[in-house]
Amino acid sequence: MSLLIRRAARSSLAEIERGEGELDRIVWIQLIEEQLPVIVCLIVLNKLMRKSAIAEVDAILDTLESRGDANPLLDEFIAKQMFARGHRAEAIAFAKEAAVRWDRDYLFELVEILKEIKAEKEGVF
């Protein structure tokens, strides 16, 4: 990643953290052109979620999906977002698929945690 891209990403993240701005145009262009690694995108997504910038989160997720990026951490983020938005059954199913596909313990743990929270909210206990 070039120095210009790193500076733009750092600047955009700082503005988002302060609540002053949106993603810099350069960051969006690099995201679309597959220049930003998934892990950087996840950092941006988490910061945007803290600011309740749902439209921007959805746009980034759509971009990552269209790029064909696959990553267990991205799947974890998507499952958590689905669950938080009220799509509990779908989130659990998605997390199960991701856990099997990636064979990661933390994804299997996520499935169990989501099941417990769902049961708690539905009063099954």
pLDDT in tens, 54-101: 888 888 888 888 888 889 999 999 999 999 999 999 999 999 999 999
The share of the chain scoring above pLDDT 90, in percent, equals 38
With a CB cutoff of 8 Å and minimum separation 6, the contacts of 71 are 38, 39, 42
Domain span at residue 99 reads 70-125
Residues 49 and 106 in one domain: no
Residue 14 or residue 63, greater confidence: 63
Angle between helices 72-84 and 88-102 (to 10 degrees): 170
| Domain end residue (candidates: 53, 69, 85) | 69
Instruction: Indicate if the alpha-carbon torsion angle 15, 17, 20, 23 is positive or negative.
Output: positive
pLDDT of residue 61: 87
Most confidently modeled range among 22-36, 43-57, 90-104: 90-104
Calculate mean pLDDT across residues 103-115. 96
pLDDT of residue 54: 84
pTM summary value? 0.75
Number of domains in the chain: 2
Residues 77 and 61 in one domain: no
Residues 6 and 55 in one domain: yes
